[in-house]
Amino acid sequence: MGRWTPGAAERLQAAGIELFAARGFEQVTAAEIAAAAGLTQRTFFRHFADKRELVFRGQEAFVATAVGGVLAAPAGTGPLDCVLAGVAALSLFFTDERRPWSRLRQGIIDAEPALQERERHKLAGLATEVAAALRRRGHDDPVARTAAEVGTAVLGLAFGRWVADGEDRSFDELAAVVLAELRAVVCGGPAGA
Amino acid sequence: MGRWTPGAAERLQAAGIELFAARGFEQVTAAEIAAAAGLTQRTFFRHFADKRELVFRGQEAFVATAVGGVLAAPAGTGPLDCVLAGVAALSLFFTDERRPWSRLRQGIIDAEPALQERERHKLAGLATEVAAALRRRGHDDPVARTAAEVGTAVLGLAFGRWVADGEDRSFDELAAVVLAELRAVVCGGPAGA
């Protein structure tokens, strides 16, 4: 079965993102990615079920971080604020150092419907886990599900702006802006007019 | 190639949903669906790129109806109310007569991650079109995108409850309930506690 290769998943992802960005997602094979990372195709498939999964490596840590943020909110925190604590915890993944890489990766996703589909699936999976975390805190459905949907909408809209060309505000700032816009639309106010 | 077969897509979809429900999505081939509908496999692939698309037949009419609802709202209507007009227009698809069929179809989707992925992709496509309709009405981004996200969240949550076992409230009623819950979560109020 081959030796365990330290950092293989990271190396494969780095090589894959670079190749996808240069030549297009569909044009690159798993064998080429493995070769570029100095690994075998067999190692590739030990780490990733397919090329799409490589793009979304780290999803488990991402979900666990969001859930951790929700669960760490002080007792008595309302459902929306719990969810926003989960979103805030994710700013760890959205640092200025990582922004160029995130832009490169997002460009690959935006050019490929199959990757967009997988991205939405991952976001929906996150909403499911966040709703479960809210239920563990005593917020039952439908509030838990509704708050989780709002949280993933804030995350998706804020992330989309954070990776946009020319944007230099931090993810936290953008999440606050998006939340204010959402409140204006849903609750009434100047930005909703 | 081949003669135009009246109602072929409808017949294929009806046969497909029935077979998927009986035997599972993965276990049924396009050839079997075509045979059950009294058609050829070639006709199947003239109508559908793959088995997944069969489950989502009618998406264009669905999107056009939502967009029509948004565009038909009276001049001066705010962005959220425009979006809710689009959601209300979709109640045409969610009648009591159709509910048993929708439940059967949703059971197939819920059992199959690949179909859930496609469903979310379709919902995201709807959000994109609704945002474009809002921009045509003069509501620019970020309000257009935010309102469209809120609308698809209301639609998704209301639809999920409408197809739930034992639910007999109308889609319109459930959309109003979901909106009230969403407002309580986002804007504060008793249900958000």
What residues in A contact B192, CB-CB < 8 Å?
A: 78-80, 143
- For the segment A151-168, the average pLDDT, to the nearest whole number, is 95
pLDDT digits (tens, 9 = 90+) for A100-130: 999 999 999 999 988 998 898 899 999 999 9
Both structure tokens of B82: 């425009």
pLDDT of residue B5: 66
Model confidence pLDDT, tens digit, residues B87-140: 999 999 999 999 999 999 999 999 998 899 889 889 999 999 999 999 999 999
Q: Is A41 on the interface with B (CB under 8 A)?
A: no
Contact assignment for A178 to B146 by CB distance below 8 Å: yes
SS (H, E, C) B46-73: HHCCCHHHHHCCCHHHHHHHHHHHHHHC
* Residues of chain B with confidence (pLDDT) below 50: 1-2, 190-193
Q: What is the Cα–Cα distance from A146 to B164, expressed in whole angstroms?
A: 16
- What interface predicted TM-score (ipTM) does this complex get? 0.80
pLDDT tens-place string over residues A19-60:
999 999 999 999 999 999 999 999 999 999 999 999 999 888
d(C-alpha A187, C-alpha A181), whole Å:
10
The confidence score (pLDDT) of residue B191 equals: 43
Sign, CA torsion A67/A73/A78/A83: negative
DSSP tag of A169: S
From chain A, the residues in CB contact with B183 under 8 A are: 186-187
A108 touches chain B (CB under 8 A): no
pLDDT at B58: 87
pLDDT of residue A107: 96
Q: Which spans in B48-170 are helix H?
A: 51-55, 59-72, 79-89, 99-110, 113-136, 143-162
Give the per-residue pLDDT at B44: 95
- Per the listing, tokens 């195709």 go with A41
pLDDT at A1 over 50: no
Q: What pLDDT does residue B7 have?
A: 87
Give the Cα separation of A180 and B45 in Å (integer).
47
End-to-end CA distance of chain A: 62
In this prediction, residues A166-190 reach a mean pLDDT of: 92
Q: In this complex, do A149 and B142 lie within 8 Å of one another by their Cβ atoms?
A: no
Residue A185 touches chain B, beta carbons under 8 Å: yes
Residues of chain B with C-beta less than 8 angstroms from the C-beta of A191:
143
Q: Per-residue pLDDT for A192 more than 50? A: no
User: In this predicted model, what pLDDT tens digit does every residue of A66-83 receive, in sequence order?
Assistant: 999 999 999 999 999 999
- Does residue A39 contact residue A11 with C-beta atoms inside 8 Å? yes
Do B143 and A116 count as a contact with CB atoms less than 8 A apart? no
The pLDDT of residue B111: 94
* Cβ-contact A109, A115 below 8 angstroms: yes
Q: Say whether A178 and B124 touch across the interface (CB within 8 A).
A: no
Q: Which residues, other chains included, contact B48 with Cβ-Cβ below 8 Å and sequence gap of 6+?
A: B9, B12, B30, B54, B57
Contact status, residue A142 vs residue B167, Cβ threshold 8 Å:
no
